[in-house]
């Protein structure tokens, strides 16, 4: 197995692929944990990877089942850092209990156990979610931070969103307990993104955009209406990836929420303003996604994003930035 200083799990995902590209550009020697040789071939041959000029700095290790004890033993050998993004997303094709809830917890526990056996590991960054520490339904009067914790929820779970949320809560609580009881030699940082939107670098066709959380954003500009409100928690994929990579740096510790308040339907306002011709010719039509306010404080995020773009600019430009990032896939440029 090729040597590497950074292990990335979940590199085939929306956020994971952006993190992978950023890590290669930053000069890391990356080992990507993948479930099959086919996944490795797909990643290695992707135009964004080949165009990076960093293919010699990318290797792969097969981890077919992330829930098995010892799953990451081989993957963590001799690495210094780990970014753990691999976790099931809500999907109607997965059993809520065995396909979402249980693997969400187990993937974290197996990784931490494997890393504990490897003395070279110095830091692990785990992708959690704002849903891991946000009460539901959210209460806008209640301030939430990356240090907020919730009690584990009782299962079993028979619907995907409660299973996803319960899994994230339990995985976070397990991580906290592991650190307290095992006192590992490595540092653990949890990152809590909201709904992550923006250009999907994996996408080669418009239909590919619906593979990630952009499937929440796109209906608002393609004439579809959602019956249920969603919490006002969102972030750009570029910022999410950057936080993961900045967290690896020396001297950085703690946990980080990565989210901003927004109104989902502001996405349509951005399209109307910047792409009036596409609105007029029917390329885009107005949909509707109700929003529930959420009071999530991103304390200390300026440590990782010193330009303060997140604190000052993003509240006004979040949806324009996200929408603009998707436009090239529709053949449009602002």
- CATH number of the domain where residue 95 is located: 3.40.50.720
Q: Examine residue 290 and state whether it is found in any structural domain, yes or no.
A: no
Q: Which two tokens stand for residue 193?
A: 């993104």
Amino acid 304: pLDDT: 52
Q: Examine residue 95 and state whether it is found in any structural domain, yes or no.
A: yes
Write the burial class of residue 276 (CB in 10 Å: 0-12 exposed, 13-18 middle, 19+ buried): exposed
Structurally, the chain folds into a number of domains equal to 1
CA 248, 13, 291 angle in degrees (round to 5)? 95
The CA distance from 14 to 201, in Å, is 8
pLDDT less than 70: residues of the chain: 1-2, 298-334
Q: Examine residue 224 and state whether it is found in any structural domain, yes or no.
A: no
Write the burial class of residue 60 (CB in 10 Å: 0-12 exposed, 13-18 middle, 19+ buried): buried
Q: Examine residue 331 and state whether it is found in any structural domain, yes or no.
A: no
The CA distance from 167 to 172, in Å, is 9
Q: Which residues pair with 6 in a beta bridge?
A: 30, 81
Q: Examine residue 221 and state whether it is found in any structural domain, yes or no.
A: no
Q: Examine residue 74 and state whether it is found in any structural domain, yes or no.
A: yes
Expressed as residue numbers, the domain containing 86 is: 6-200+233-261+295-310
Q: How remote is the C-alpha of 88 from its chain's centroid?
A: 11
Amino acid 275: pLDDT: 84
Name the packing angle between helices 160-182 and 102-116 (round to 10°): 20
Amino acid 299: pLDDT: 55
Q: Examine residue 279 and state whether it is found in any structural domain, yes or no.
A: no
Reported as a single tens digit per residue, the pLDDT across 192-227 is 999 888 888 888 877 787 777 888 888 888 899 988
Among the listed residues 57, 74, 66, 67, the one whose alpha carbon sits nearest the alpha carbon of residue 20: 57
Amino acid 66: pLDDT: 94
Please state the pTM of the whole predicted model: 0.89
Amino acid 77: pLDDT: 97
């Amino acid at each position: 197995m090729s040597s590497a200083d950074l292990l990335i799990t979940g590199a085939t995902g929306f956020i994971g692929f952006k993190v992978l590209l950023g890590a290669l550009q930053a000069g890391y020697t990356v080992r990507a944990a993948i479930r099959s040789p086919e996944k490795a071939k797909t990643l290695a041959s992707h135009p964004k990877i080949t165009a990076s000029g960093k293919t010699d700095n990318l290797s792969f290790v097969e981890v077919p089942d992330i829930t098995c004890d010892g799953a990451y033993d081989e993957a963590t050998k001799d690495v210094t850092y780990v970014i753990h993004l691999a976790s099931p997303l809500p999907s109607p094709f997965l059993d809520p209990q065995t396909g979402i809830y249980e693997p969400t917890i187990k993937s974290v526990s197996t990784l931490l156990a494997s890393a504990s056996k490897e003395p070279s590991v110095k830091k692990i960054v785990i992708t959690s979610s704002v849903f891991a520490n946000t009460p539901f339904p959210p209460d806008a009067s209640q301030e939430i931070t990356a240090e907020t914790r919730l009690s584990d929820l009782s299962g079993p779970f028979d619907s995907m969103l409660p299973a996803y949320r319960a899994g994230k809560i339990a995985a976070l609580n397990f991580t906290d307990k592991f650190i307290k009881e095992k006192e590992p030699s490595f540092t653990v940082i949890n990152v809590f993104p909201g709904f992550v939107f923006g250009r999907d670098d994996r996408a080669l066709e418009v239909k590919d955009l619906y593979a990630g959380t952009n499937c929440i954003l796109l209906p608002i500009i393609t004439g579809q209406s959602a019956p249920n409100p969603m919490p006002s928690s969102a972030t750009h994929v570029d910022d999410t990836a950057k936080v993961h990579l900045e967290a690896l740096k020396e001297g950085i510790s703690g946990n980080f929420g990565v989210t901003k308040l927004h109104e989902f339907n502001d996405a349509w306002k951005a399209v109307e303003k910047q792409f009036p011709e596409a609105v007029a010719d029917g390329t885009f039509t107005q949909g509707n996604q109700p929003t529930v306010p959420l009071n999530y404080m991103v304390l200390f995020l300026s440590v990782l994003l010193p330009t303060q773009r997140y604190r000052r600019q993003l509240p006004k430009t979040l949806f324009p930035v996200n929408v603009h990032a998707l436009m090239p896939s529709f053949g449009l440029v602002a």
